Amino acid sequence: MSNPKTDKVPAQQLMSCGEVACEVLVNPIPRPELDPIRITLKPKVPRVTFLDHKKPNSLAILQFAQQILRQRGIEVREEILQKDDASIPMPAALLASLSQEPGLVLCGISD
């Protein structure tokens, strides 16, 4: 559950105002200079692609999800893509490839 006290986005600018003048405080928080991730919220085709990130039980859960989705008539890509290490960011080539995927991409879950 999110905590509105700690999870709110920090202020962009703070001013210190005395009786005569105001001073801008130096902002300590770096911000994304571009959108951090560009995503398409609505898939262009009704198809699901899974990405396993090699955490415990991730593959088993994804295979089970594939089965359930197919039972419900949803097209699911047969191959489950692989990210070799959950502790490192997605390689740029894989991210670029997935950004072209017209269907829905679901990433690995675990435990």
The footprint of another protein (CB under 8 A) covers 2, 6-11, 14, 16-18, 23-36, 54, 56-57, 60, 86-90, 111
Whole-number minimum distance, CB 21 to another protein, in Å? Answer: 12
d(CA 56, CA 110): 6
Strand, coil or helix: 89: coil
Q: In angstroms, what is the minimal distance from the CB of 72 to another protein? A: 27
CB of 100 to another protein, least distance (A): 18
Is the CB of 73 or the CB of 89 nearer to another protein? Answer: 89
Q: Which of 43, 20, 16 is nearest to 98 (CA)?
A: 43
CA-CA distance, 11 to 16, in Å (whole number)?
A: 14
Q: Pick between residue 71 and residue 87 the one whose CB is nearest to another protein.
A: 87
Indicate the residue among 44 and 60 with the shorter CB distance to another protein. 60
Evaluate whether 80 touches 50 at the Cβ level (below 8 Å).
Answer: yes
Pick the closer one to another protein by CB: 46 or 56: 56
The answer to whether 50 and 59 are in contact (CB under 8 A) is no
